[in-house]
Amino acid sequence: MCLPILLVAACTGSGDPDDTGGVDAAPGIDAVPRTCTVVSDLGQLGARDGTPMASGAAGSRILAVSMTVASDASTRDVVFVQLKGGKGAFAAGDPVPGTYPLTGAELDYNTCGVCVTVIGDLVAGQGPTQFYFQRSGTVTITSTSGSLTGSLSNVEFLELDLASEEVIRDGCETQVGGLSFDEALP
């Protein structure tokens, strides 16, 4: 009956050879640094011009605005606000004015009614290099009739895998302190 004694003896000690309290990586293995295409803090962006969009039938209407927030000769970063009728905050029907905290169903790309994304390094004809989705913050919509008018406040974003639409563990992050928009709907 020495088995229990051997197991206890084998499990004693910290298991941390350098007693730093951290997890030690295997020798010679380093994490691959992640290249983030969007700065970690986009800051207070103020009023932005954008491209508005509207589609869908009553009860499942989709309203959106796309705003470039950074660009260079070949790429641009875009904040995209999409309001999806029949989902999340708008489960009962079309998007309506109100203040919407980004919590609950709004934190899932597949169920959000108030959906805010940052598209990193968008290249014409190729699509984005990185895609970020909301983690927290507030969206206020003041008009959905005639124009799409509203603002973002303290919205934080996590990087999503474009194929799986899942958050990338140890992926990139960014945030928008504030941004407002007012675009005539088509």
Q: What is the pLDDT of residue 19?
A: 47
Strand intervals (E) in the chain: 43-48, 51-55, 62-71, 76-84, 98-101, 114-122, 130-143, 147-160, 173-184
Q: Which two tokens stand for residue 167?
A: 């958050």
What digits encode the pLDDT tens for the residues 61-80?
Answer: 999 999 999 888 788 999 99
Amino acid at 173: E
- Are 147 and 182 in contact by the 8 Å Cβ rule? The answer is yes
> What are the residue boundaries of the structural domains of the chain, listed by start?
37-180
Q: What is the pLDDT of residue 54?
A: 97
Measured distance CA(128)–CA(118) in Å, rounded: 10
Distances in Å between the Cα of 58 and the Cα atoms of 44, 65, 84, 94 are: 34, 19, 11, 7
pTM exceeds 0.85 for this model: no
CA-CA-CA-CA torsion for 106, 108, 109, 115, nearest 10 degrees? 10
What digits encode the pLDDT tens for the residues 87-130?
Answer: 999 999 999 999 999 999 999 989 999 999 999 998 888 888 89
What digits encode the pLDDT tens for the residues 88-98?
Answer: 999 999 999 99
